[in-house]
Structures are given as C-alpha cells and as structure tokens.
C-alpha cells in the first residue's frame, strides 16, 4: 500500500509537469486551431534559462527567494520567446492553409532544437539545487520538498490561469477569439494582441514546467522537449484539445498511468502506454474527456 501511494505521488508530480505543458498546447489550439509543435522546445529553453539564471545566483545560500527569481525570470524570457515565434513564424502564414501552419510549427521546432545544441552544447547539463531540501514522511510515503513544490506550484499556476481566463477582460477576449476569430475582430477585439498574449501565457507555463523538472530530475539536455512535448500533447488530446481543465486532467492521468506501468509492469511500455491512450481516445471519444463536439459548419 505504501508503495502504491508512493507511486501515486511520483505520478502526480510527473503529471503536473505534463499538465503545465499541455495547457500551452490547448490554449494555442483554442485560439488558432494550431498544434504548436515548437511548444516542447520552449519548455526546453525554459529549463536552460533557469539553469543559467541559477548558475548566476549560485554562491548565495539556496533559498525560496532565489528559486522564485529563477522561475519568474525564465517565465518572462520564454513568454517573450513565445511571442517572437508567433510574430515571426506563425503570423505571416496565419491566413494560409492549416497544413502550412502545421509544417511551419515543425520547422520552428527543428530550428530551436538545433540552435539549442549549438548554443547550449549537446551534452546534458545538471541543475544546481535551488531551494533548501527537506523531506516529509506521511504514512510511510516520502514527499520531498521538490515534489511538493512541483505539485503546489503547478496547481497555483493553473488556478491563476483559470482566474485570468474567466475573470479578466483579456481572458474574456481570449475566450471570444477562441469561439470565433472573425466575429471577435468584427466586435473590435484586437485579435493579434490576444493571440500574442495566448502564446506568451502558454510559453511562460512551459518555462515554469522546465524549471520545475530541472529542480526535480536534475538533468536537462537540448532534446528533452521532444518526448515531454509529445506526451503533453497526448495529454491535451486526452483531456479534449481546447479545454483547459481537460489539459490538467489529461496531464495528471498520463503521468500517473505512466508511473504505474513502469512500477508494476516494465519500463519498456512507458511510451507505449501514452501513445496507446492517444489511439484509444481518438477511436472512442475523438473530442477528448472534457472536450466539446465541434460541428462542422457548411
């Protein structure tokens, strides 16, 4: 039983990371109907920015403040990167066919991965510890401060996002754009600005995930975004792409099921389970667990 609970905690912390990345996929899909394949790479850049920032802060005692600084710094840099990607790569082709946009996204992803190998070096790097570490043992289950941080920070960010989307003017505009891009423009919403903000938000969340994984794992490398990006994408589809609570649910489900499979069956099936779930969802419930059915208008 303790082992099961421990695996559940492991799964929750891994799932929170997937959920944070999945949010970015789902938000961008919501406004642009685009699968932003470069999103996993933004997450990787987030981890690296966090790594270099924490190296700068090293020497000082690890503290909550410096951990917070690193995370916020990395989120800002990646928000700007996300806006830049949208402005330079996606906006010029936004009116083109959906396929053009998709191929552009794959191109951006390859570009970032290769530039990262040049700039950061292809060798893996190792995150220094940011915050003082303490362990808590609850009913035989060991919770490290890193795991708790990951889960709590992820939940906080998701609640903040929810508040932003449901309660603010910009959030309302985002919902309008996701409902209908053309109608929103006719209503006087600056759609370019809203799309830009969507990219910034999604990328900032990915950066947070990057820093959190860096604190937890602590190995980062320029191609780390590929697998995590793909699994987060599966999570977004599982929850229902375009649905924000769906992305969170999907992320947690993928994380937990993956850990259970590795723990009780074999690590060989780790990837098989994530993609197996994707196939099942696409067959049985194409709109995802919490997604709405979109009627094709003729």
Partner 1 sequence: MRFRVLAAVCLAAIGAVTLSCGKEGSQKEILVGEYGSLTGGIATFGISTRDGSQLAFDDVNSKGGVLGHKIKLLVEDDQSKPEEAGTVVNKLIHQDHAVAMIGHVASSHSLAAAPICQAEKVPMISPASTNPRVTQVGNYIFRVCFLDTFQGAVMAKFASDTLKVKKVAILVDVRSDYSVGLQTFFGQAFKKLGGEIVAEQSYSQGDSDFRAQLTAIKAANPEAIYVPGYYTEVGTIVHQARELGITVPFLGSDGWDSPKLWEIGGTSLNGCYFSNHYATDDPNPVVQKFVNDYKAKYNQLPDALAALAYDAARILADAMQRAGSTDGEKVRNAIASTKDFPGVTGQISINEERNAVKTAVIVKVENGKYLLTETIKPEDVK
Residues in touch with partner 1 (CB under 8 A): 2-3, 6-7, 10-11, 14, 124, 126, 135, 137, 142, 144, 146, 213, 217-219, 224, 258-264, 266-268, 270
Which one, 129 or 190, has the nearer CB to partner 1? 129
Which one, 84 or 260, has the nearer CB to partner 1? 260
Could you give the angle at the alpha carbon of 98 between the alpha carbons of 97 and 104, nearest 5°?
A: 95
In the complex, the smallest distance separating the C-beta of residue 167 from partner 1, rounded to whole angstroms, is 35
How many other CB atoms sit within 10 Å of the CB of residue 276? 14
Secondary structure (3-state) at 176: helix
Which one, 221 or 287, has the nearer CB to partner 1? 221
In the complex, the smallest distance separating the C-beta of residue 258 from partner 1, rounded to whole angstroms, is 8
In the complex, the smallest distance separating the C-beta of residue 11 from partner 1, rounded to whole angstroms, is 8
Which one, 142 or 193, has the nearer CB to partner 1? 142
In the complex, the smallest distance separating the C-beta of residue 230 from partner 1, rounded to whole angstroms, is 14
Taking a C-beta distance cutoff of 8 angstroms, is the pair 147, 229 a contact? no
Backbone angles phi, psi at 219, to 5 degrees: -100, 135
Which one, 72 or 260, has the nearer CB to partner 1? 260
The two tokens of residue 84 are 């830049």
Taking a C-beta distance cutoff of 8 angstroms, is the pair 209, 43 a contact? yes
Give me the residues paired with residue 138 across strands.
141
CA proximity to 10, closest of 124, 147, 134, 107: 147
DSSP state of 126: E
As a whole number of angstroms, the distance between CA 184 and CA 172 comes to 11
How many other CB atoms sit within 10 Å of the CB of residue 167? 9
Which one, 103 or 148, has the nearer CB to partner 1? 148
In the complex, the smallest distance separating the C-beta of residue 3 from partner 1, rounded to whole angstroms, is 4
Backbone angles phi, psi at 141, to 5 degrees: -95, 130
In the complex, the smallest distance separating the C-beta of residue 7 from partner 1, rounded to whole angstroms, is 5
């Amino acid at each position: 039983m303790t082992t099961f609970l421990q695996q559940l905690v492991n799964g929750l912390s891994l799932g929170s990371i997937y959920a944070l990345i999945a949010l970015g996929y789902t938000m961008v899909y919501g406004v642009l109907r685009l699968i932003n394949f470069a999103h996993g790479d933004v997450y990787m850049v987030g981890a690296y920015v966090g790594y270099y920032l924490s190296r700068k802060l090293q020497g000082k005692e690890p503290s909550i403040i410096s951990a917070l600084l690193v995370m916020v710094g990395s989120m800002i840099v990646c928000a700007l990167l996300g806006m830049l990607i949208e402005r330079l790569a996606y906006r010029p082709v936004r009116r083109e066919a959906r396929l053009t946009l998709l191929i552009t996204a794959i191109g951006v992803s390859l570009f970032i991965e290769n530039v990262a190998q040049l700039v950061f070096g292809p060798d893996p790097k190792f995150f220094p510890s940011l915050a003082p570490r303490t362990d808590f043992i609850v009913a035989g289950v060991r919770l490290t401060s890193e795991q708790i941080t990951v889960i709590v920070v992820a939940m906080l960010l998701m609640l903040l996002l929810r508040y932003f989307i449901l309660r603010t003017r910009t959030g309302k505009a985002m919902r309008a754009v996701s409902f209908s891009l053309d109608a929103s423009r006719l209503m006087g919403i600056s759609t370019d600005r809203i799309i830009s903000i969507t990219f910034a938000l999604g990328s900032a969340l990915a950066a947070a995930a990057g820093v959190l994984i860096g604190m937890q794992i602590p190995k980062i490398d320029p191609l780390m975004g590929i697998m995590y990006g793909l699994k987060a994408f599966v999570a977004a589809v599982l929850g229902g792409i375009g649905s924000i609570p769906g992305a969170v649910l999907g992320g947690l489900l993928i994380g937990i099921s993956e850990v259970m499979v590795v723990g009780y069956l074999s690590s060989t099936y780790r990837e098989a389970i994530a993609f197996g779930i994707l196939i099942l969802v696409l067959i049985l419930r194409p709109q995802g667990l919490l997604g709405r059915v979109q009627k094709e208008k003729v």
